[in-house]
Amino acid sequence: MKMPGNMGAMMQQAQKMQQKMQEEVALIRVEATAGGGMVTVSMDGHKNVTGVKIDPEVAGDVEMLQDLVMAACNEATKKVDEETQKKMSGMLGGLGLPPGLL
């Protein structure tokens, strides 16, 4: 099916931008801490936890450790979302889209 006017070229450009965005997201790496650094969680751009560091001092208190790990994971997820949004805004900002569409 032939697309009218320049639509085919625009679709190709959109596909290339989507692929580039996926590549950029894959490169994102963040680290978040909780409890003043007692727990550190590393996460990639796909929100996979890639590492956890736990201060031995907190290992004895299971409830506190659970809370700190959860807080660090939530913070890391938030950071990934922020980094992704920054990259999307940078890549798509020149398209002249209405505010709030990104």
Query: In the chain, what are the domain boundaries?
Result: 28-85
Q: Are 25 and 81 in contact (CB under 8 A)?
A: no
* Higher pLDDT pick, 84 / 90: 84
Longest dimension (CA), the chain: 67
- The pairing of strands 29-34 and 49-54 is unpaired
pLDDT in tens, 11-21: 888 888 888 88
Angle, CA of 10, 21 and 17, to the nearest 5°: 15
pLDDT at residue number 101: 52
- Taking the model in full, what pTM does it have? 0.72
28-85 has CATH 3.40.50.1580 classification = no
Estimate the share of the chain in helix, then strand, then coil, as percent rounded to the nearest 5: 55, 20, 25
* Higher pLDDT pick, 23 / 101: 23
- What does the mean pLDDT of the chain come to? 86
